[in-house]
Amino acid sequence: MSRIGKLPVKIPEKVTVTFADKNMLVKGPKGQLSMTCSDEIALNISEDTIILSVLKLSPKSKKEFGMYRALIANMIQGVTTGFEKKLELQGVGYRSQVQGKSLILNVGYSHQVKIDAPDDIKITVDGNTNVSISGINKQLVGQIAANIRSVRPPEPYKGKGIRYQGEHVRKKAGKAGKKK
Protein backbone atom coordinates (compact mmCIF):
# COMPACT_ATOMS: atom_id res chain seq x y z
CA MET A 1 0.00 0.00 0.00
CA SER A 2 1.07 3.55 -0.66
CA ARG A 3 2.47 5.52 2.25
CA ILE A 4 1.31 8.76 0.65
CA GLY A 5 -2.22 7.41 0.19
CA LYS A 6 -2.57 6.67 3.90
CA LEU A 7 -1.99 10.33 4.88
CA PRO A 8 -5.14 12.41 5.47
CA VAL A 9 -5.74 15.53 3.37
CA LYS A 10 -6.61 18.64 5.37
CA ILE A 11 -9.41 20.86 4.07
CA PRO A 12 -8.84 24.61 4.73
CA GLU A 13 -11.67 26.78 6.06
CA LYS A 14 -12.57 28.53 2.78
CA VAL A 15 -12.68 25.31 0.72
CA THR A 16 -15.75 23.13 0.19
CA VAL A 17 -15.44 19.54 -1.05
CA THR A 18 -18.39 17.58 -2.41
CA PHE A 19 -18.31 13.96 -3.54
CA ALA A 20 -21.19 12.22 -5.31
CA ASP A 21 -21.33 9.40 -7.88
CA LYS A 22 -17.52 9.14 -8.07
CA ASN A 23 -17.30 12.84 -9.04
CA MET A 24 -15.39 15.17 -6.76
CA LEU A 25 -15.85 18.95 -6.80
CA VAL A 26 -13.50 21.29 -4.91
CA LYS A 27 -14.48 24.98 -4.58
CA GLY A 28 -12.23 27.65 -3.13
CA PRO A 29 -11.38 31.35 -3.30
CA LYS A 30 -9.51 31.02 -6.63
CA GLY A 31 -12.07 28.86 -8.45
CA GLN A 32 -13.29 25.29 -8.69
CA LEU A 33 -11.87 22.01 -9.95
CA SER A 34 -13.53 18.66 -10.57
CA MET A 35 -12.31 15.09 -11.01
CA THR A 36 -13.76 11.62 -11.51
CA CYS A 37 -12.47 9.05 -9.01
CA SER A 38 -11.87 5.36 -9.52
CA ASP A 39 -14.36 2.66 -8.50
CA GLU A 40 -11.68 0.95 -6.39
CA ILE A 41 -11.00 3.96 -4.12
CA ALA A 42 -13.36 5.14 -1.35
CA LEU A 43 -13.34 8.64 0.13
CA ASN A 44 -14.37 9.51 3.69
CA ILE A 45 -14.96 13.26 3.93
CA SER A 46 -15.32 14.76 7.39
CA GLU A 47 -15.46 18.45 8.33
CA ASP A 48 -11.76 19.21 7.87
CA THR A 49 -10.09 16.05 6.47
CA ILE A 50 -10.36 13.58 3.61
CA ILE A 51 -9.23 9.99 4.17
CA LEU A 52 -8.82 7.59 1.26
CA SER A 53 -9.21 3.83 1.50
CA VAL A 54 -9.04 0.90 -0.91
CA LEU A 55 -12.27 -1.01 -1.50
CA LYS A 56 -10.71 -4.14 -3.03
CA LEU A 57 -7.03 -4.97 -3.02
CA SER A 58 -5.64 -5.32 -6.54
CA PRO A 59 -2.51 -4.13 -8.36
CA LYS A 60 -4.55 -1.36 -10.00
CA SER A 61 -5.99 -0.11 -6.71
CA LYS A 62 -2.53 -0.09 -5.10
CA LYS A 63 -1.26 2.13 -7.92
CA GLU A 64 -4.21 4.50 -7.80
CA PHE A 65 -4.33 4.85 -3.99
CA GLY A 66 -1.42 7.29 -3.64
CA MET A 67 -2.09 8.98 -6.98
CA TYR A 68 -5.65 10.00 -6.08
CA ARG A 69 -4.53 11.31 -2.70
CA ALA A 70 -1.90 13.47 -4.42
CA LEU A 71 -4.42 14.69 -7.02
CA ILE A 72 -6.91 15.68 -4.30
CA ALA A 73 -4.20 17.49 -2.32
CA ASN A 74 -3.14 19.35 -5.50
CA MET A 75 -6.75 20.35 -6.21
CA ILE A 76 -7.12 21.79 -2.71
CA GLN A 77 -3.80 23.64 -2.97
CA GLY A 78 -4.77 24.94 -6.42
CA VAL A 79 -8.06 26.51 -5.33
CA THR A 80 -6.44 28.12 -2.25
CA THR A 81 -2.98 29.31 -3.37
CA GLY A 82 -2.60 28.27 -7.02
CA PHE A 83 0.47 27.09 -8.91
CA GLU A 84 3.15 28.98 -10.83
CA LYS A 85 6.01 28.03 -13.17
CA LYS A 86 8.65 30.50 -14.28
CA LEU A 87 10.69 30.33 -17.49
CA GLU A 88 13.72 32.32 -18.66
CA LEU A 89 14.76 33.11 -22.21
CA GLN A 90 18.52 33.17 -22.75
CA GLY A 91 20.05 34.18 -26.03
CA VAL A 92 20.88 37.30 -28.01
CA GLY A 93 17.67 38.82 -29.37
CA TYR A 94 15.39 36.35 -27.58
CA ARG A 95 12.32 38.10 -26.20
CA SER A 96 8.67 37.53 -25.42
CA GLN A 97 5.50 39.55 -25.05
CA VAL A 98 1.85 38.98 -24.22
CA GLN A 99 -0.94 39.99 -26.59
CA GLY A 100 -4.33 39.33 -25.00
CA LYS A 101 -4.31 35.65 -23.94
CA SER A 102 -1.43 34.73 -26.28
CA LEU A 103 2.31 34.61 -25.71
CA ILE A 104 4.46 35.81 -28.63
CA LEU A 105 8.04 34.43 -28.67
CA ASN A 106 10.97 35.68 -30.76
CA VAL A 107 13.56 32.94 -30.25
CA GLY A 108 15.77 32.93 -33.33
CA TYR A 109 13.36 31.54 -35.90
CA SER A 110 12.42 33.37 -39.09
CA HIS A 111 8.93 33.82 -37.66
CA GLN A 112 7.33 34.60 -34.32
CA VAL A 113 5.92 31.69 -32.33
CA LYS A 114 2.44 32.27 -30.93
CA ILE A 115 1.19 30.17 -28.00
CA ASP A 116 -2.45 30.51 -26.95
CA ALA A 117 -3.24 30.09 -23.25
CA PRO A 118 -6.40 28.32 -22.03
CA ASP A 119 -8.97 30.31 -20.05
CA ASP A 120 -7.73 29.01 -16.67
CA ILE A 121 -4.09 29.99 -17.26
CA LYS A 122 -2.56 33.45 -16.82
CA ILE A 123 0.72 34.24 -18.60
CA THR A 124 2.77 37.32 -17.67
CA VAL A 125 6.11 38.60 -18.96
CA ASP A 126 8.67 40.54 -16.91
CA GLY A 127 11.45 42.37 -18.73
CA ASN A 128 11.00 40.57 -22.10
CA THR A 129 12.88 37.46 -20.94
CA ASN A 130 11.05 36.16 -17.85
CA VAL A 131 7.76 34.33 -18.46
CA SER A 132 5.45 33.35 -15.60
CA ILE A 133 2.61 30.83 -16.01
CA SER A 134 0.05 30.61 -13.20
CA GLY A 135 -3.26 28.88 -12.62
CA ILE A 136 -5.21 26.59 -10.31
CA ASN A 137 -4.70 23.31 -12.21
CA LYS A 138 -1.20 21.94 -11.53
CA GLN A 139 -1.19 19.59 -14.52
CA LEU A 140 -2.30 22.31 -16.95
CA VAL A 141 0.24 24.85 -15.64
CA GLY A 142 3.05 22.31 -16.01
CA GLN A 143 1.93 21.26 -19.50
CA ILE A 144 1.75 24.85 -20.80
CA ALA A 145 5.22 25.54 -19.33
CA ALA A 146 6.57 22.39 -21.02
CA ASN A 147 4.98 23.41 -24.35
CA ILE A 148 6.61 26.85 -24.16
CA ARG A 149 9.99 25.31 -23.26
CA SER A 150 9.75 22.85 -26.17
CA VAL A 151 9.67 25.74 -28.67
CA ARG A 152 13.43 26.25 -28.11
CA PRO A 153 14.91 23.95 -25.43
CA PRO A 154 18.30 24.97 -24.05
CA GLU A 155 21.16 23.71 -26.20
CA PRO A 156 24.30 22.29 -24.55
CA TYR A 157 27.02 24.32 -26.29
CA LYS A 158 26.11 27.96 -25.62
CA GLY A 159 23.13 27.45 -23.30
CA LYS A 160 20.75 29.45 -25.51
CA GLY A 161 17.06 28.64 -25.32
CA ILE A 162 14.07 28.61 -22.98
CA ARG A 163 14.64 27.05 -19.56
CA TYR A 164 12.88 26.80 -16.23
CA GLN A 165 14.02 29.38 -13.68
CA GLY A 166 16.88 27.88 -11.71
CA GLU A 167 17.42 25.01 -14.19
CA HIS A 168 21.07 24.14 -14.66
CA VAL A 169 22.14 23.24 -18.20
CA ARG A 170 25.39 21.29 -18.43
CA LYS A 171 27.54 22.73 -21.17
CA LYS A 172 29.64 20.56 -23.44
CA ALA A 173 33.11 21.41 -24.62
CA GLY A 174 33.20 22.57 -28.22
CA LYS A 175 35.07 20.90 -31.03
CA ALA A 176 38.74 20.52 -30.10
CA GLY A 177 41.42 22.00 -32.31
CA LYS A 178 43.36 19.83 -34.75
CA LYS A 179 46.54 18.34 -33.24
CA LYS A 180 49.68 17.99 -35.37
Same domain, 43 and 106: no
Same domain, 71 and 127: no
Q: Give the count of domains, the chain.
A: 2
| Residue 109 placed within a domain | yes
| Residue 127 placed within a domain | yes
**Percentage of residues in the chain having pLDDT higher than 90:** 76
Question: Quick check: 180 pLDDT over 70?
Answer: no
Domain that holds residue 51: 3-80
| Residue 174 placed within a domain | no
Q: What is the dihedral of CA 29, 33, 39, 43, to 10 degrees?
A: -10
pLDDT digits (tens, 9 = 90+) for 30-61: 999 999 998 888 889 988 999 999 998 888 88
Positive or negative, the CA dihedral 61, 4, 12, 76 is negative
| Residue 169 placed within a domain | no
| Residue 172 placed within a domain | no
Same domain, 73 and 97: no
Per-residue pLDDT at 21: 87
Nearest-angstrom CA–CA distance, 96 and 112 = 9
Same domain, 51 and 107: no
pLDDT digits (tens, 9 = 90+) for 56-79: 888 888 888 899 999 999 999 999
Same domain, 98 and 70: no
Which CATH number is 22's domain given? 3.90.930.12
**Do 133 and 121 touch, CB atoms closer than 8 A?**
yes
Same domain, 18 and 47: yes
Same domain, 64 and 135: no
